[in-house]
């Protein structure tokens, strides 16, 4: 039966998949590829009576066309004939009208062979040497098959692209086309006539990129012979095609043999996918309800408040964008903007090199640092309008937008990261610095008033009595005293129960004044209990003074004190529990164990939401009355964090805290402690090491290696310079905290730091120290060193 069908539909000289010279097939006859994948023959689309020559799937039950020869010249009846004549394929009707031809230029007498391949490609080759003369995949219609290329053949000049049908019943050239746009950096665009209506993200790599969720490899080729894109399959049994349909949808379709229908994997454009839906410098964002909205890139504002789709314009700040302190703001997870005015700079540029190259060119508006599919990094820079941008969480590209100095400062303050996690912590410390000094001032004024009023408090029955009566909490719960709203008195049994009898596993830290334990009250409240040791240098009066001060000066950036307990031989302070330890545990390998009078990272604790709070403020600042002076005979602090004038002469002021703040800033940038040693200069502290690098113009060498290239060099250099200004030897040269805040939050010019203070690394019996290259001997000042949590 099979042989009878072959004899009926094909002359004996015609094979199943080839058409040799001087052979032909008529309407009703067809060619079938070797593995029965595709059929070449005549068909009528939809409800049309016209006949066309085309190629369709053989194994797909529903006739699905992938290529049409005479799409704009239909045959009115069933008299069409495809012939192989003089080296060309030609299509005639019954009146011998030429409707279509391969139109290959041949010299002399040439015989050819046409073959329908299993890829769906119809090829025409010379009969003698099999040289390719023509192939249908160079002239696609509306369908892209595996390994079929869209793009430019640089040798022949042929540009291949898809074009939709006019309608389901008419395969004629429609209004929509998918082309590889070669202006700027190559990218696929879907056009309606000549107007872009959708743009695919450009390929920044060479070679395949497998997309598992979609089942194919995406390929891009750019060499001296061609520039093209195509897709390929790892599993040949899967039937996938890309289609530009007559309605303007570009879609991926996969054949489901079980359901005997095509499954649409995705289609575009939709809402934000529409080209330039939010105009120039606008970002299209799709919400959870699939509605889209438009916002602006950093440094830009809406052109029209009524219609955000009109795009955005640069904010009118009157500042130059060329060599005037400008920088870049990173916007994450975006579809790459239109690359019509972009340039590929280098395949080996780091993020920092890419940024510096763009910064040097005043026409550069943005850049992207691509990870080129594991082959290194490349830099794509933009020089014109930034358009067709949308938020795309599945996209890994980050757009770095050029902004002026004012806008850069604004986004620096808003940024959630400063040197990664450390950047956030540094900015947080800045926000804490001013309240700290205000609180210190209030503490000083309050203590002066307390001294003048000569209000005396007495200790009765080994318990505090701030109002003249003994107050205890009833029943193991935290509640406010009706007579003293700022403080609660805890019974010893309550604290013993909360800490499981001060179990070692609940111990949070050990300090010079005692130990700190985690506890939980019966009402579920977590607490931190500071249990002062019997040998603590803090007496009853200091203890009472500290508790009262902290209770009066509650602040959102100070660790909150719930109350205290003095019973039997115990003296304890009960604080709120801070689950994320202290700032130093995030920037050093190990935690410093100190109790201090100056600001430092170990006393910046972090709660469950990483909000910082300064701890031990009362202990650090509450000292004996005769020590609230410009000079003290009892220096309490930690070597490496105390200012020179405080260490040597016992003088302390707000400038002492400026020095400590400078040390913190350098520690955050470097990820090292000020007391670390350095191989080349073992006598130098961190400050000395940074100073040497600064003088050699190598300050960035100190940046924490764990940050890699995620930092902005200008910001880091500015932080280092401010840190060095804070640790200058002469306190008169050090800036005020207000000036420091202004320096960190704006782009004002900074002065050059002068000689810094070399703080001693270790002390001899007479506490010799080297400061500013001079040797001092401290014999008239007592220096007390504490180690605490």
Mark the binding-site residues for ATP, compressed into ranges: 530
Task: Classify residue 224 by its DSSP letter.
Answer: S
**Which residue carries 């961190």 as its tokens?**
686
Task: Classify residue 207 as left (phi > 0), alpha (psi -120 to 50) or beta.
Answer: left
- Per the structure block, which two tokens stand in for 176? 């929509």
Task: Classify residue 200 by its DSSP letter.
Answer: P
Helix axes 421-453, 737-745, angle to 10 degrees: 160
Q: How far apart are CA 601 and CA 664, in angstroms?
A: 7
Q: How far is CA 670 from CA 433, 689, 729, in A?
A: 20, 11, 21
Task: Give how far the C-alpha of residue 760 lies from the chain's centroid of Cα atoms, to the nearest Å.
Answer: 41
- CA proximity to 97, closest of 64, 75, 78: 75
Question: Which of 598, 616, 657, 704 is flagged as catalytic?
Answer: 598
**Which residue carries 């830009």 as its tokens?**
300
Q: Is there a catalytic annotation at residue 598?
A: yes
Neighbours of 333 (CB within 10 A): 14
The string over 476-491, giving b where at least 16 C-beta atoms fall within 10 Å of a residue's C-beta and e elsewhere, is eebeebeebebbbbbb
How does DSSP assign 431-470, residue by residue? HHHHHHHHHHHHHHHHHHHHHHHT----EETTEE-SSSS-
8 A C-beta contact, residue 319 and residue 304: no
Q: How far apart are CA 40 and CA 22, in angstroms?
A: 18
What three-state secondary structure class fits 212? coil
Q: How far is CA 636 from CA 394, 505, 613, 627, 782, in A?
A: 54, 30, 22, 11, 9
How does DSSP assign 27-65, residue by residue? BTB-EE-TTS-EEEEEE--TT---BEEEEEESS-SS--E
Q: How far apart are CA 508 and CA 611, in angstroms?
A: 19
Q: How far is CA 50 from CA 61, 66, 76, 77, 140, in A?
A: 22, 18, 5, 7, 20
Please measure the distance between the N-terminal and C-terminal CA atoms of the chain and give it in whole angstroms: 94
8 A C-beta contact, residue 356 and residue 435: no
- C-alpha atoms less than 13 angstroms from C-alpha of 315 in its C-beta half-sphere: 15
8 A C-beta contact, residue 286 and residue 271: yes
> What are the contacts of 97-104 at 24+ separation with CB within 8 A?
99/70, 99/73, 99/75, 100/53, 100/69, 100/70, 100/73, 102/133, 102/134, 104/133, 104/134
What three-state secondary structure class fits 380? strand
**Residues labelled as active-site residues:** 598
């Amino acid at each position: 039966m099979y042989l009878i069908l072959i004899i009926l539909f094909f002359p004996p000289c015609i094979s199943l998949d080839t058409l040799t010279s001087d052979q032909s097939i008529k309407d009703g006859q067809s060619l079938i590829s070797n593995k029965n994948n595709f059929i070449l023959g005549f068909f009528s689309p939809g409800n049309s009576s016209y006949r066309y020559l085309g190629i369709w799937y053989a194994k797909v039950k529903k006739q699905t066309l992938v290529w049409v020869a005479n799409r704009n010249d239909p045959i009115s009846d069933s008299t069409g004939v495809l012939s192989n004549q003089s080296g060309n394929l030609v299509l005639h009707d019954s009146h011998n009208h030429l409707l279509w031809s391969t139109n290959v230029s041949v010299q002399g007498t040439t015989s050819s062979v046409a073959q329908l391949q299993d890829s769906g490609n119809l090829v025409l080759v010379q009969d003698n040497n099999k040289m390719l003369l023509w192939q249908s995949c160079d002239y696609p219609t509306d369908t892209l098959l595996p390994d079929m290329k869209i793009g430019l053949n640089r040798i022949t000049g042929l540009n291949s692209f898809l074009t939709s049908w006019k309608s389901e019943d008419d395969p004629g050239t429609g209004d929509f086309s998918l082309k590889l746009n070669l202006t700027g950096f190559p990218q696929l665009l879907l056009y309606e006539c000549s107007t872009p209506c959708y743009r695919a993200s450009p390929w920044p790599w060479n070679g395949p990129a497998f997309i598992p969720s979609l089942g194919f490899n995406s390929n891009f080729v750019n060499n001296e012979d061609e520039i093209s894109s195509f897709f390929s399959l790892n599993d040949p049994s899967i039937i996938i095609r890309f289609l530009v349909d007559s309605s303007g949808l570009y879609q991926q379709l996969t054949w489901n043999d079980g359901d005997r229908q095509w499954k649409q994997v995705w289609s575009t454009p939709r809402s934000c996918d529409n080209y330039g839906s939010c105009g120039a410098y606008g970002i299209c964002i799709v919400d959870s309800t699939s509605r889209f909205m438009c916002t602006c890139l950093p440094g830009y504002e809406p052109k029209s408040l009524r219609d955000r789709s009109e795009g955005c314009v640069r904010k009118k700040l009157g500042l130059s964008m060329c060599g005037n302190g400008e920088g870049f703001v990173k916007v994450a997870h975006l579809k790459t903007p239109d690359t019509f005015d972009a340039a590929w700079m280098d395949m080996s540029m780091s993020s920092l090199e890419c940024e510096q190259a763009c910064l040097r060119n005043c026409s550069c508006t943005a850049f992207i640092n691509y990870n080129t599919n594991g082959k290194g990094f490349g830099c794509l820079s933009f020089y014109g309008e930034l358009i067709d941008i949308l938020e795309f969480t599945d996209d890994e590209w980050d757009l770095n937008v050029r902004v002026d100095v004012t806008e850069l400062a604004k986004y620096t303050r808003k940024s959630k990261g400063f040197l990664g996690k450390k950047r956030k912590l540094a900015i947080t410390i800045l926000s804490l610095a001013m309240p700290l000094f205000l609180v210190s001032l209030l503490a000083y004024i309050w203590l002066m008033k307390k001294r003048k009023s000569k209000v005396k408090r007495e200790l009765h029955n080994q318990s505090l009595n701030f109002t003249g009566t003994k107050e205890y909490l009833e029943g193991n719960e935290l509640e406010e005293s009706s007579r003293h709203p700022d403080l609660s008195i805890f019974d010893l049994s309550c604290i013993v129960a909360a800490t499981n009898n001060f179990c070692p596993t609940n111990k949070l830290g050990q300090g010079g004044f005692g130990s700190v334990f985690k506890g939980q009250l019966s009402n579920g409240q977590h607490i931190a209990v500071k249990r002062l040791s019997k040998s603590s240098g803090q007496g009853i009066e200091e203890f009472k003074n500290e508790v009262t001060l902290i209770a009066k000066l509650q602040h959102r950036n100070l660790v909150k004190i719930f109350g205290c307990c003095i019973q039997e031989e115990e003296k304890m302070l009960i604080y709120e529990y801070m689950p994320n330890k202290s700032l130093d545990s995030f920037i050093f390998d190990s935690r410093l164990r100190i109790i201090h009078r100056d600001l430092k990272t170990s006393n910046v604790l972090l709660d469950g939401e990483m909000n910082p709070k300064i701890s031990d403020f009362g202990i650090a600042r509450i000292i004996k009355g005769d020590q609230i002076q410009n000079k003290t005979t009892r220096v309490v602090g930690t070597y490496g964090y105390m200012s020179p004038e405080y260490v040597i002469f016992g003088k302390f002021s707000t400038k002492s805290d400026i020095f400590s703040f400078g040390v913190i800033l350098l520690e955050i940038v470097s990820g090292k402690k000020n007391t670390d040693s350095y191989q080349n200069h073992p006598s130098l502290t961190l400050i000395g090491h940074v100073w040497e690098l600064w003088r050699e113009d190598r300050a960035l060498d100190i940046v924490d290696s764990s940050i890699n290239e995620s930092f902005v060099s200008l910001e880091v250099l500015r932080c280092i310079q401010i840190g060095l200004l804070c640790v200058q030897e002469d306190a008169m040269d050090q800036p005020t905290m207000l000036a420091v805040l202004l320096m960190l939050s704006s782009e004002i010019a900074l002065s050059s730091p002068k000689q810094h203070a070399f703080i001693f690394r270790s002390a001899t019996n007479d506490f010799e120290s080297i400061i500013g290259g001079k040797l001092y001997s401290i014999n008239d000042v007592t220096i007390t060193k504490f180690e605490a949590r």
